A and B are shown apart, each in its own frame.
Chain A
Amino acid sequence: MQDLNSSIRMLFNPVGILLITILLIVFATVVYSGRTSQADRWRKIPVSNVQKERIARQIATGYGGGPFKPSLDMKEHVDFFLTPAFLVQEAISDDVIITYPTE
Chain B
Amino acid sequence: MKNKRTCESYTTLSILLISSLFIATVLPGRATGKIEPVGTPIEAVQFDAVIELNRYVPRSDRHDYTIMFARYWVASDYYTAALVWAEPQSSDLYFALYPPGLSVTGNTQSFEVYHGLYPKHSHTYERPLGERGVLRHKLGGYPIGNIRFADREALAERIYAHDLSNLKDANQLSEGMPDPPIQSVDRDESRDVARLKMLSNGENIASMKLFNAEQRLLKDISYEYESRGDRSFLRKQTVFLPERPMIVGFNSEGMKVTLDGKEFRYKDLEVTHHAGGRTCTIEYEQVSLGDKEVTLPVHVTVRNGKDGNVLRSVRMMNFRQVDLDVDDAKEAARKFSAVSADRSQYEQLHKKYWKKTTLEIEKADIETIEQLWSRFDKAATTADNIGEKLKCLNVLIQLDSILGDHNELERHYKSYLSTLADNKLDWMTLVGGYGVIEKLMYAERHAVAKILLNVWIHTLLDMHENDEILLFARQQLAKKRLWTTAVLLELFSNKEHYNIEARFEAQVLRCAALAELNKLPRADDIAKKGRIAEVQSDWITPIGKKNLDKMLAESTNRAKNFFASVADPTESQKVLNTQLTKIEQEIRQEKKQRSD
- Report which A residues bind B (CB closer than 8 A): 47, 49, 52-53, 55-57, 59-61, 63-65, 67-103
Report if B125 contacts A (CB, 8 A).
no
| Secondary structure dominating the interface of B | strand
Q: A60-B269, A89-B76, A102-B218 are in contact. Are A47 and B260 (CB under 8 A)?
A: yes
Report if B426 contacts A (CB, 8 A).
no
A60 and B264 contact, CB distance less than 8 A: yes
Chain A residues with CB under 8 Å of B312's CB are 76-77, 80
How far is it, in angstroms, between the C-alpha of A84 and the C-alpha of B83 when the chains are bound?
13
Q: A60-B257, A60-B266, A91-B294 are in contact. Are A74 and B40 (CB under 8 A)?
A: no
Report if B117 contacts A (CB, 8 A).
no
B157 and A98 contact, CB distance less than 8 A: no
Chain A residues with CB under 8 Å of B140's CB are 70-71, 73-74
Report if B435 contacts A (CB, 8 A).
no
A98 and B81 contact, CB distance less than 8 A: no
How far is it, in angstroms, between the C-alpha of A89 and the C-alpha of B106 when the chains are bound?
11
A88 and B72 contact, CB distance less than 8 A: yes
B241 and A97 contact, CB distance less than 8 A: no
Q: A76-B311, A92-B41, A102-B218 are in contact. Are A84 and B269 (CB under 8 A)?
A: no
Q: A65-B271, A79-B147 are in contact. Are A98 and B264 (CB under 8 A)?
A: no
Q: List 24 A-B contacts (CB under 8 A).
A: A64-B269, A68-B138, A73-B55, A75-B135, A78-B146, A79-B147, A80-B53, A80-B314, A82-B154, A83-B314, A84-B70, A85-B81, A88-B72, A89-B74, A89-B79, A90-B158, A91-B296, A92-B76, A95-B161, A97-B160, A97-B163, A98-B39, A99-B210, A101-B154
B218 and A85 contact, CB distance less than 8 A: no
| Interface-side segment among B42-50, B413-421, B542-550 | B42-50
Report if B455 contacts A (CB, 8 A).
no
B264 and A56 contact, CB distance less than 8 A: yes
B163 and A98 contact, CB distance less than 8 A: no
Q: A60-B266, A82-B150 are in contact. Are A97 and B300 (CB under 8 A)?
A: no
- Give the total of B residues in contact with A, Cβ under 8 Å: 90
Chain B residues with CB under 8 Å of A52's CB are 259-260, 262, 264
In the complex formed, the residue of A with least CB distance to B273 is A72
Chain B residues with CB under 8 Å of A87's CB are 282, 297, 300
What 3 A-B pairs are tightest by C-beta distance, nearest first? A79-B150, A101-B154, A85-B79
Chain B residues with CB under 8 Å of A86's CB are 79, 154
Given contacts A80-B302, A80-B312, 15 further A-B contacts (CB under 8 A): A52-B259, A56-B266, A60-B269, A64-B255, A74-B95, A79-B147, A79-B149, A79-B150, A87-B300, A88-B72, A88-B316, A92-B294, A93-B38, A95-B38, A103-B302
Chain A residues with CB under 8 Å of B311's CB are 76
B138 and A67 contact, CB distance less than 8 A: yes
How far is it, in angstroms, between the C-alpha of A52 and the C-alpha of B263 when the chains are bound?
10
Over the window 240-269 of chain B, the binary record of Cβ atoms lying under 8 Å from chain A Cβ atoms (1 yes, 0 no) is 010000101010000101011010101001
Chain B residues with CB under 8 Å of A75's CB are 135, 142, 146
Report if B153 contacts A (CB, 8 A).
yes
Report if B159 contacts A (CB, 8 A).
yes
How far is it, in angstroms, between the C-alpha of A86 and the C-alpha of B96 when the chains are bound?
21
Chain B residues with CB under 8 Å of A89's CB are 74-76, 79
B74 and A100 contact, CB distance less than 8 A: no
Would you give the shortest CB distance from A48 to chain B, in whole angstroms?
Answer: 11
Chain A residues with CB under 8 Å of B51's CB are 80-81, 84
Would you give the shortest CB distance from A15 to chain B, in whole angstroms?
Answer: 48
B72 and A98 contact, CB distance less than 8 A: no
In the complex formed, the residue of A with least CB distance to B205 is A97
How far is it, in angstroms, between the C-alpha of A27 and the C-alpha of B42 when the chains are bound?
92
Q: A53-B264, A60-B266, A83-B300 are in contact. Are A96 and B219 (CB under 8 A)?
A: no
Most buried by B among A81, A83, A87: A81
Chain A residues with CB under 8 Å of B255's CB are 60, 63-64
Chain A residues with CB under 8 Å of B509's CB are none
Q: A83-B300, A96-B160 are in contact. Are A102 and B74 (CB under 8 A)?
A: no
Report if B151 contacts A (CB, 8 A).
yes
Q: A56-B257, A60-B257 are in contact. Are A81 and B147 (CB under 8 A)?
A: yes
How far is it, in angstroms, between the C-alpha of A59 and the C-alpha of B161 when the chains are bound?
46
Interface residues of B in 79-121 (CB under 8 A from A): 79-81, 83, 94-96, 104, 106
Most buried by A among B74, B159, B161: B74
How far is it, in angstroms, between the C-alpha of A102 and the C-alpha of B278 when the chains are bound?
10
Cβ contact of A92, chosen from B74, B262, B271, cutoff 8 A: B74
Interface residues of B in 19-61 (CB under 8 A from A): 35, 37-42, 45, 47, 49, 51, 53, 55
B248 and A57 contact, CB distance less than 8 A: no
In the complex formed, the residue of B with least CB distance to A91 is B39
Would you give the shortest CB distance from B412 to chain A, in whole angstroms?
Answer: 29
Would you give the shortest CB distance from A54 to chain B, in whole angstroms?
Answer: 10
How far is it, in angstroms, between the C-alpha of A63 and the C-alpha of B157 when the chains are bound?
33
Chain A residues with CB under 8 Å of B146's CB are 75, 78
Would you give the shortest CB distance from B298 to chain A, in whole angstroms?
Answer: 10
Cβ contact of A74, chosen from B142, B154, B159, B218, cutoff 8 A: B142
B38 and A92 contact, CB distance less than 8 A: no
How far is it, in angstroms, between the C-alpha of A98 and the C-alpha of B154 when the chains are bound?
12
Over the window 166-188 of chain B, the binary record of Cβ atoms lying under 8 Å from chain A Cβ atoms (1 yes, 0 no) is 00000000000000000000000
Would you give the shortest CB distance from A24 to chain B, in whole angstroms?
Answer: 35
How far is it, in angstroms, between the C-alpha of A10 and the C-alpha of B448 when the chains are bound?
93
In the complex formed, the residue of A with least CB distance to B246 is A72
How far is it, in angstroms, between the C-alpha of A44 and the C-alpha of B269 when the chains are bound?
30
How far is it, in angstroms, between the C-alpha of A26 and the C-alpha of B471 when the chains are bound?
65
A67 and B139 contact, CB distance less than 8 A: yes
